Structure 1
Amino acid sequence: MDHTPVYYLFQFAFFYPMVMAFFWMSGGLYYFFRRERKSRDRNDPPPMDEYPFTSLLIPCHNESDNLDDTLGAALAQRYPDFEVIAINDGSGDATGARLDALAAIHPRLRVVHLDRNLGKANALRMGALAARSEYLVCIDGDAMLEEHAMHWMVWHLTSGPRVGAVTGNPRIRNRSTLLGRLQVAEFSSIIGMIKRAQRVYGRIFTISGVIAGFRRTALHRIGYWADDMVTEDIDISWRLQLDHWDIRYEPNALCFILMPETLRGLWKQRLRWAQGGVEVLLRHGMSLFNWRKRRMWGVLVEYIFSVLWAYVMLLIIVLWALGKVVDLPPSLYIQTLLPQWHGVILALVCLLQFASSLIIDRRYEINIGRNYFWVIWYPMAYWLISLFTTLVALPKTLLKRGRTRATWVSPDRGIR
């Protein structure tokens, strides 16, 4: 039986998200039952032979409204020996003055003032150079660490000489709108599962920039964070792994974060993420065609197929629109974009994926099941914004002129 080109386009557009959903579910559940199910409670982290001095880095730009919460949680860590270094990166508000006032009260806190906005990557580099420890835990200026998070992350970093970084488990603080509730579902059923599945096959696409721990030796070998990348967390993840450092995922290292709750804020954030992925692919993709770097091939293939899916969807939309104004051959004509039985199946798979995440995430968040109702809207919200941000990010990155420093832009922190 002969199939038309449109048939193959629809087959790929339909089966790619479904196959990836089952891949993430199976990998995530395997990781959970193999490594998490019988692990210690997050409030009872494993004992360590010694507790090395650790530095907690907090880059800040116009964070005066969040400093009390963020630094309060940072200074309350249940870890015996650590310092907190806050880097004021050219803030235009009261961030600098507030940090100095807090440093006068808390002896663990040190403040580094930078006279102008040079971006998060530069702020982290300055903090790392000022730190007195081999082990660095980095969080954003609006994040709140759970009290045992530092212990869990340092435990990983000290568990082996090739552990270069560890990424934690971000949780959404603000849930006052539908977008906020959808992101609760996203971080549990998508982002957490992806990291678990990627750990199963050996490499992680990106650490969570909002909570990550690093071995300073590893950072020094690769030249620290790049200040000309839109997303410094994706880039540092690839460069560490290309240098054969291992990146761990620790779901017990919880960090409560603020996320956009407006469409405009969410679009800007996800466009930046998508652009960062394209930048990393263009800069490091060719270097992966080396047998010694074969463990990164899974991450590379997964990302390439995600970009290809976005452009297949674009082609389907274009053919449908053209069919409304010109006579197309039957082999290229698309009658409707409205989901039919394909959409029903994808919605069911989405619900199954979120149900799987409930099995895992009930360890880390009470009453997460109340968000199950809202996840029915997730495919429309998440897949559509992923589609269009990828479509915009690729040409935007390709047309970018030269390397420019990525400076701070204060994000949408949600409706509180």
Structure 2
Amino acid sequence: MEFALDYPLHYLFAFAFFYPIVMSFFWVSGGLYYYWRRERKARPRTEPPPLEHAPMASILIPCFNEGEQVEDTVAAALAQRYPHFEVIAIDDGSRDDTAEKLEALAAKHERLRVLRLDRNMGKANALRMGALAARSEYLVCIDGDALLDEYATHWMVWHLTSGPRVGAVTGNPRIRNRSTLLGRMQVGEFSSIIGMIKRAQRVYGRLFTVSGVISAFRRTALHRIGYWSDDMVTEDIDISWRLQLDHWDIRYEPNALCLILMPETLRGLWRQRLRWAQGGVEVMRRYAADMLAWRKRRMWGVVLEYLLSVAWAYTMLLIVVLWALGLFVALPPALHVETLLPRWHGVILALVCLLQFAASMIIDRRYETRVGRNYYWMIWYPMAYWLVGWATTVVALPKALLKPRNARAVWVSPDRGIR
């Protein structure tokens, strides 16, 4: 793909080229600043800041068909190095042996309580039921396949107790299954892309979303906004926007680690990323009007970043369509796309990607000393994940806009990868 600014349409082509470069430098600069100010000389993960009065914390684990891994998840939650906590597992109408395993575990551990819902009502509803049953003001929420680091609860509760306007804390998910190329690339993605973005957004203003797999909340904040919405396919994005629109602060804590299972098939990856993309569009559709108020101006950067990403996806779609049409009909020079193969600008994009990966390695080695071995596989990241991300954004926009309002979002068992 070549472009020159002789034709108006070629400004779109220039946007397609410069957008990922500008955003990469935006994330890298913000991520490095965050690291330099808050992580470089911070406490080790195993020595969290002391709490004068350690309040009780409630760990919520919503489950749906998690029989294969729920015992490990509960065991990790019960192993927290925190003085006062309870674990509440919510079985949301599972069709496997999840409920039976949870009941057996509850009989052995006093800290564990089990809530059984008679049918699948969705993760948002399960979290709401767990929050209402909790005995604590501070709620740590993890997925039913996640292994919570033993110090994670302490780190997140420390943030929630550090200020009255801290409404939520998002943790640092780490990939657990790394047996395939897709799994190894996701190790790099979660540090060099997702972790870097969260650091940068924390520096520049607001977070787009907490990590649904590991996050903590102040129950007072949740009560003010009405808890989780059960008609959004991504309850984590929705709750993040509503908290921040209500002027609650969301923190990022990289020391709050959590091992998670991720898809390792293209079909599973597609379904996951399509859900993420659709969730972003649904949130934008619902809350776009609220963003116009001057009091909500701190969210404008997040909104602009998201709108630019959607515009980039559809710009790339236009380029692909013009290239395909050019194979069959003669197009005017202003609309002609000679090739989709990367040329000189492809080399620049690759160098920028390598720079971002290198910066994330500097930051991430603090949390995983041998993480660098997985960056060898990141050379394939643009081919695998950029294409999937682009395609899911294109598909998600009309899908979300055509979705009936107030339709309940229920559980769908995800691809847990090859272990």
Normalising by structure 1, what TM-score? 0.99
| Structure 1 residue 380 displacement after superposition | 1.4
Partner-residue secondary structure (3-state), 1:331: helix
Q: Which amino acid aligns with 2:103?
A: D
Question: SS at the partner of 2:145?
Answer: coil
Q: Quick one: distance in 2 between partners of 1:67 and 1:312?
A: 43
Matches within 5 A, 1:100-119: 100-119=103-122
Paired amino acid for 1:332: L
Match among 189, 193, 197 for residue 194 of structure 1: 197
Cα distance in structure 1, aligned partners of 2:205 and 2:331: 46
> Aligned match of 2:58 in 55, 58, 63?
55
Matches within 5 A, 1:206-225: 206-225=209-228
**Unaligned residue ranges in structure 2 (runs of 5+):** none
Out of 371, 395, 418, the residue aligned to residue 415 of structure 1 is 418
Please tell me whether residue 145 in structure 1 is matched to residue 164 in structure 2: no
- Please tell me whether residue 125 in structure 1 is matched to residue 118 in structure 2: no
Q: What amino acid maps onto 1:374 in structure 2? A: W
Quote the residue 1:368 is aligned against.
371
Q: Counterparts of 1:412 and 1:5 in 2: how far apart (Å)?
A: 44
Q: Does the CA-based 8 Å contact 2:5-2:11 persist in structure 1?
A: no
Maintained 8 Å contact 2:156/2:256 = yes
1:225-304 equivalences under 5 Å are 225-304=228-307
Cα separation, 1, equivalents of 2:31 and 2:5: 38
CA distance in 1, matches of 2:52, 2:5: 66
Residues 2 and 87 of structure 1, relative CA distance in 2, 3 Å threshold: closer
Q: Within 5 Å, give how 1:300-339 maps onto structure 2.
A: 300-339=303-342
Matching residue of 2:353: 350
Per-residue CA distance 1:45-72 (angstroms, 9 max, x = gap): 0101110011000000011110121011
Which residue type is aligned with residue 274 of structure 2? L
Moved over 4 A (4+): none
2:37 counterpart (28, 34, 37): 34
Query: Could you say which residue in structure 1 is the equivalent of 2:19?
Result: 16
Write the letter of the residue equivalent to 2:314.
Y
Instruction: Establish whether residue 173 from structure 1 lines up as the match of residue 176 from structure 2.
Output: yes
Work out the CA distance in 2 between the residues paired with 1:66 and 1:366: 26
SS at match of 1:251: strand
Deviation, 1:2, is 6.0
Determine if contact 1:164/1:247 at 8 Å carries over to the other structure.
yes
Alpha-carbon separation, structure 2, partners of 1:333 and 1:249? 45
- RMSD of aligned Cα (Å): 0.8
Q: CA deviation at 1:331?
A: 1.1
Alpha carbons 2:137, 2:218 under 8 Å: kept: yes
Which piece of structure 1 moves more, 371-380 or 120-129?
371-380
| Pairs aligned (count) | 416
Deviations 1:209-265 (A, max 9, x none): 000000000000000000000000000000000000000000000000000000000
Map of 1:163 onto structure 2 = 166
1:286 positional shift: 1.4
1:166-220 CA-to-partner distances (Å, cap 9, x unmatched) read 0000000000000001100100000000000000012000000000000000000
8 Å contact kept, 1:134–1:216: yes
**Deviation of 1:281 (Å):** 0.4
Q: Distance in 2 between matches of 1:302 and 1:17?
A: 11
Q: Secondary structure at the match of 1:112?
A: strand
Structure 1: segments with no counterpart, 5+ residues: none
Task: Give yes or no for contact 2:221–2:243 (8 Å, CA) kept in 1.
Answer: yes
Distance in 1 separating the partners of 2:158 and 2:375:
33
State the alpha-carbon separation in 2 of the partners of residues 293 and 402 from structure 1: 24
1:6–1:334 CA contact under 8 A, matched in 2: no
Question: Is residue 99 from structure 1 mapped to residue 102 from structure 2 by the alignment?
Answer: yes
**What is the rounded CA distance, in whole Å, between the counterparts of 1:115 and 1:2 in structure 2?**
61
Percent identical across equivalent pairs?
Answer: 76
Assess if the C-alpha contact under 8 Å between 1:5 and 1:332 holds in 2: no
Per-residue CA deviation, residues 266-316 of structure 1 (Å, 9 max, x unaligned), is 000000000000000000011100110000000000000000000000000
Task: Please report how far the alpha carbon of residue 381 of structure 1 lies from its aligned counterpart in structure 2 after TM superposition.
Answer: 1.3
Checking the alignment, whether the CA contact within 8 Å between 1:87 and 1:111 is kept in structure 2 is yes
How many angstroms does 1:157 deviate by? 0.3
Question: How many Å apart are 1:9 and its aligned residue?
Answer: 2.1
**Counterpart residue type for residue 382 of structure 1:** Y
Which residue, 68, 73, 77 being the options, matches 1:70?
73
1:6 and 1:333 in contact (8 A); partners too? no
TM-score, normalised via structure 2 length? 0.98
- Aligned partners of 1:198 and 1:204 also within 8 Å: yes
Q: Counterpart of 1:399? A: 402
